[in-house]
Amino acid sequence: MEYKAPIESYPGVVREVTIGKGNKAIKLGGENILPLHFFDEGSRPNAPKFALELWDMKPEDWPEWGIEPFKDVISDPVAWGKKCESYGADAVCLRLVSTDPSVKDSPPEQAAEIAKKVAEAINVPLIVYGSADADKDAQVLPKVASSCSGMNLLLGPVLKENYEVVAKVALDHGHTLIAQTPVDINLLKELNVRLSKFCPLDRVVIDPLSSALGYGFEYTFSLMERVKQAGVIFKDEMTQMPIIADLGTECWKTREAKESKEQALIWEGVTALSFLLAGANVLVLRHPDTLNLIREITGGNGK
């Protein structure tokens, strides 16, 4: 029997989504090939992008090795955003933790103000995550959308409970949406179908909800793998959006990340590389060392 290299080709293409505006803009997705399958037929016009996150308030439960790279800017979101950029992030992710009703319940206006200042201060696109409290986000995210009008933020999470309120306003102000559903391919497609009624699908990025290694990691991993395959192998239009893996916060809140710096970095690194292999197009990380490591492993010549 003769061996023939099992090279595959794919009929589907992931939509190319642009976030940020003007010379700050970057592109996500656009591939018609499985992740890092450079040996198959197809291409990946845009390499995966890496964002570093910052919080809108001083975090209290981060281990010292999580704070260390940001210790001089940890109370100043604008300086923190610039710091993320200086570490080589392709995008900066502002997490509006303080708006959570169970944290500080800070007002939407304050969040909108901070988002605007951070977005203006940095030269890379801004990703903004609300608290994922559907009701509060329905107040916060529209305000953020309008204060940052025209800047093409990547904004979310847009949930099935609040998409009607959030998505419309966000689109009117020229932003791109993060459509988030809880680790289920059918719910994910259902939300995208609903959004597709009034929203161009190249303005949507999928967030299938990331879990850290050991804390539901395998559900996220397999879901991302299935979503990507549904898009590029089976041409399912409702899964052909770029995928965001918002994993930094999840990894760093585990007790393992708080045990040792080495373990924290490997925990985040393994989670990140795994999701990249599963099909993530943009990863939100916390530690700049993880960003450099994953970029080094996946970006260069494979050495």
Partner 1 sequence: MPLSGTQIAKLLPNKKGCRECGFPTCFAFAMKLASGGTTLDKCPYLTPEAKAQLEEGLAPLMKLVTVGTGVNKLEIGDEEVVYRHEKTYKHPTGIAILISDKEEEAKVEEKVRKVMELQFTWIGLTLKADLVALQFESGDRSRFLALVKKVIALADLPLMLICEDTDLLFEAYGICADRRPLLYPITEKNIDAVIPKIKERPTPIVVRADGVAQLVPLTAKLKEEKIEEVVLDPGSKNIFDAIRDQTFIRRAAIKQEFRALGYPTVVFPCFLAEGGIKEAVVASAFIIKFAGIIVLSDFDRFSLFPLLVERLNIYTDPRIPMAVEAKVYEVGTPDEYSPVLVTSNWALTYFLVSTQIANSKVSAWLAVTESEGLGPLTAWAAGKFNGDVIAKLFKQTEIANMVKHKKLVIPGKCARIKGETEEALGFEWEAVVGPNEAGGIPAWLPGFAKQVKEGAAKA
Q: In this chain, which of 20, 48, 156, 269 binds partner 1, going by CB under 8 A?
A: 269
Residue 239: CB atoms within 10 Å = 24
Minimum Å gap between C-beta 57 and partner 1 is 12
In whole angstroms, how far apart are CA 293 and each of 21, 45, 169, 254? 28, 21, 37, 20
Please name the residue that has the structure tokens 């708080």.
258
- The answer to whether 233 contacts partner 1 (rule: CB under 8 A) is no
Q: Which stretch binds partner 1 (CB under 8 A): 42-50, 99-107, 114-122, 187-195?
A: 99-107
Minimum Å gap between C-beta 96 and partner 1 is 13
Minimum Å gap between C-beta 78 and partner 1 is 25
Per-residue binding string, partner 1, 148-187, x by CB under 8 A, is ----------------------------------------
Based on DSSP, count helices (H) and strands (E) in the chain, helices before strands: 10, 10
Nearest to 158 by CA among 149, 168, 150, 148: 168
- The answer to whether 146 contacts partner 1 (rule: CB under 8 A) is no
Q: In this chain, which of 219, 236, 237, 295 binds partner 1, going by CB under 8 A?
A: 219
Alpha helix stretches (DSSP H) within 179-260: 185-196, 217-232, 248-252
Minimum Å gap between C-beta 71 and partner 1 is 21
Q: Scan residues 12-71 and list those touching partner 1 (CB under 8 A).
A: 36-39, 61
Q: Which stretch binds partner 1 (CB under 8 A): 74-82, 173-181, 189-197, 206-214?
A: 206-214
Residue 265: CB atoms within 10 Å = 19
- The answer to whether 234 contacts partner 1 (rule: CB under 8 A) is no
Distance CA 303, CA 297 (A): 7
- The answer to whether 213 contacts partner 1 (rule: CB under 8 A) is yes
* C-beta of 50 vs 217, nearer to partner 1: 217
- The answer to whether 109 contacts partner 1 (rule: CB under 8 A) is no
Under rule CB under 8 A, how many of the chain's residues touch partner 1?
A: 53
Q: What are phi and psi of 144, to 5 degrees?
A: -60, -45
Using CB atoms within 10 Å of the CB of residue 33, give its burial: 0 to 12 exposed, 13 to 18 middle, 19+ buried.
buried
* C-beta of 95 vs 175, nearer to partner 1: 95
Minimum Å gap between C-beta 82 and partner 1 is 26
Distance CA 268, CA 286 (A): 8
Residues facing residue 41 across a β-bridge = 9
Lookup: tokens for 267: 């925990």
Residue 186: CB atoms within 10 Å = 8
Q: What angle, rounded to 10 degrees, do the helices at 77-86 and 108-121 form?
A: 40
- The answer to whether 226 contacts partner 1 (rule: CB under 8 A) is yes
The residues binding partner 1 (CB under 8 A) are 1, 3-6, 8, 36-39, 61, 100, 102-103, 132-133, 211, 213-219, 221-222, 225-226, 229, 253-256, 259-260, 262-263, 265-267, 269-270, 273-274, 277, 289, 293-294, 296-297, 301-303
